[in-house]
């Protein structure tokens, strides 16, 4: 029996059609090439084939001639659009709690995925690997996911914050300006996994946006979805 295709929540594409239109592209022309339908981008509860979504993002960047399109999407992606996990990140008391929540609840958005969170004397590290069944070009998808996470963590830590170090499992894209604006400069490419390293001072900095009661309510809801 062939392995099941990896899945990703359609909620990670909320607003993508409009974003693509602003980039001068016609989403209706791209969807068939990725074997997706228009309603795949409107039903936010739908689980989509990860390979098809990765291919869609790759084709969009290629057609637009914008290698940084995945990062552009990360910056444009609406806070909370990803559902329960998105709202947890909005109301997390600090980045440490946010990273732990990503580890615990990322399967609500993407599965299967090997994700780990480890703490050492100086840093906390969230790392993940895409499944072997992801065979489509992944650089646009990977930079979008990393970029969206960094943007959410910046909301928690502060507007001038950048990760201590990032690791990406793909090659460096030809879009250094937006990469440095979004992810920073300390990035290692062609790694065995994707990872974000944060020093303790930033991990434990209290967020000005936190709502402890709401955070607990959303956590309880997330537990029911697991």
pLDDT in tens, the chain (226 residues): 667 889 999 999 999 999 999 999 999 999 999 999 999 999 999 999 999 999 999 999 999 999 999 999 999 999 999 999 999 999 999 999 999 999 999 999 999 999 999 999 999 999 999 999 999 999 999 999 999 999 999 999 999 999 999 999 999 999 999 999 999 999 999 999 999 999 999 999 999 988 899 999 999 999 999 8
Confidence (pLDDT) at 38: 94
Report how far residue 124's alpha carbon sits from residue 96's, in angstroms, rounded to the nearest whole number: 8
The C-alpha angle 32, 148, 208, rounded to 5 degrees, equals: 150
Domain boundaries, the chain: 7-76, 84-225
Report how far residue 79's alpha carbon sits from residue 34's, in angstroms, rounded to the nearest whole number: 26
Structurally, at CATH architecture level, domain 7-76 sits in Orthogonal Bundle (1.10)
Confidence (pLDDT) at 140: 98
Q: Is the peptide bond before 185 cis (omega within 30 degrees of 0)?
A: no
Confidence (pLDDT) at 33: 98
Using CA of residue 159, residue 163, residue 169, residue 175, what is the dihedral sign? positive
CB 18: neighbour CB atoms within 10 A?
Answer: 12
Confidence (pLDDT) at 166: 99
Confidence (pLDDT) at 64: 97
Report how far residue 99's alpha carbon sits from residue 156's, in angstroms, rounded to the nearest whole number: 11
154-163: long-range contacts, CB 8 A cutoff, minimum separation 24: 155/79, 155/89, 155/90, 155/207, 155/209, 156/89, 156/92, 156/94, 156/95, 156/98, 156/205, 156/207, 156/209, 157/95, 157/202, 157/205, 157/207, 158/205, 161/202, 162/186, 163/196, 163/197, 163/198
List of residues 6+ apart from 76 with CB closer than 8 A: 15, 19
Report how far residue 97's alpha carbon sits from residue 90's, in angstroms, rounded to the nearest whole number: 11
List of residues 6+ apart from 116 with CB closer than 8 A: 103, 125, 126, 127, 128
Confidence (pLDDT) at 1: 63
Confidence (pLDDT) at 78: 95
Confidence (pLDDT) at 3: 76
Q: Which residues pair with 125 in a beta bridge?
A: 118, 197
Report how far residue 40's alpha carbon sits from residue 37's, in angstroms, rounded to the nearest whole number: 5
């Amino acid at each position: 029996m062939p392995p099941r295709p990896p899945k990703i929540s359609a909620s990670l594409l909320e607003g993508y059609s409009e974003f693509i239109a602003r980039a001068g592209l016609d989403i209706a022309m791209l969807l068939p090439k990725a074997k997706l339908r228009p309603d795949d981008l409107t039903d936010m509860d739908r689980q989509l084939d990860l390979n098809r979504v990765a291919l869609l993002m790759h084709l969009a960047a290629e057609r637009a001639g914008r290698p940084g399109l995945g990062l552009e999407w990360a910056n444009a992606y609406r806070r909370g659009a990803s559902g329960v996990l998105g709202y947890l990140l909005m109301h997390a008391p600090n980045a440490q709690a946010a990273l732990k929540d990503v580890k615990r609840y990322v399967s609500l958005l993407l599965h299967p995925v090997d994700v780990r969170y480890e703490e050492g004397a100086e840093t906390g590290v969230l790392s993940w690997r895409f499944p072997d069944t992801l065979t489509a070009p992944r650089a646009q998808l990977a930079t979008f996911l990393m970029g969206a996470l960094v943007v959410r963590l910046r909301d928690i830590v502060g507007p001038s914050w950048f990760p201590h170090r990032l690791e990406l499992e793909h090659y460096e894209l030809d879009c250094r300006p937006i990469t440095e604006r979004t992810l920073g400069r300390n990035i290692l490419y062609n790694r065995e996994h994707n990872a974000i390293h944060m020093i303790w001072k930033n991990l434990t900095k209290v967020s000005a946006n936190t709502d402890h009661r709401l955070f607990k309510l959303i956590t309880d809801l997330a537990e029911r979805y697991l």
